[in-house]
Amino acid sequence: MHLMPSPTPEIILENIKEWINDLGKLSITPHKNPKCQFSIWVSLPESSIIQPIMVTYPKNDEKILFGWHWLMEDMDSKAYHAITDITKKLHLTNSFRNEAMKRKFILQFEPDIFKLKGIAIFKFIPINELTKESFRGVMLDLMYMWGYLMSLFENNDMSRAGFNPSDYI
């Protein structure tokens, strides 16, 4: 049996750029990383509606990494840490974890759920499983997860909108 060679990183990147274009209104920003064949940020132009999504092809690997990493801004962190009801924090983190697991994402709370400073969510797709449909699915899932996270913060009174720092001074 003769196996087809894997597409080159250049061809994979061109396909991804074409698929991003098909999703519409997304911008691509190259990200230099010597450990990667290529690395790009995908985001809505001039908007913070979604967290920028990293699409990376690590060297010496046959998988593409898709994900985002949110470092909480000072206001977000103060809002989260001001909540003393541990059940609210557990509800938020467990709800987010369960939703991530349904979509087969890897999730990291940094450093942990009690001293939360950041959240990373990502998924690897093997090169031989990367199609327009799998790409579209993971991108839409990552966008959904960002919106879901923000709604959890809002619904648990941990967002900037429901937080007045002077109440906790």
**CATH number of the domain that residue 47 is part of:** 3.30.1460.10
Residue 111 lies in a domain: yes
Domain housing 115: 9-155
Q: What is the pLDDT of residues 73-98, one digit of tens each?
A: 876 777 777 777 888 889 889 999 99
* pLDDT averaged over every residue in the chain: 86
Number of domains in the chain: 1
Residue 166 lies in a domain: no
Residue 91 lies in a domain: yes
Say what the pLDDT of residue 167 is.
Answer: 44
Q: What is the pLDDT of residues 13-51, one digit of tens each?
A: 999 999 999 988 889 999 999 999 999 999 987 666 678
| H-type alpha helices, the chain | 9-23, 74-82, 86-102, 132-155
DSSP of 65-79:
EEEEEEEPPHHHHHH
Q: What is the pLDDT of residues 138-158, one digit of tens each?
A: 999 999 999 999 888 888 766
Nearest by Cα to 120 from 54, 60, 74, 58: 54
Residue 138 lies in a domain: yes
The reported pTM is: 0.86
Say what the pLDDT of residue 48 is.
Answer: 61
Q: Among 9-13, 71-75, 101-105, 137-141, where is mean pLDDT lowest?
A: 71-75
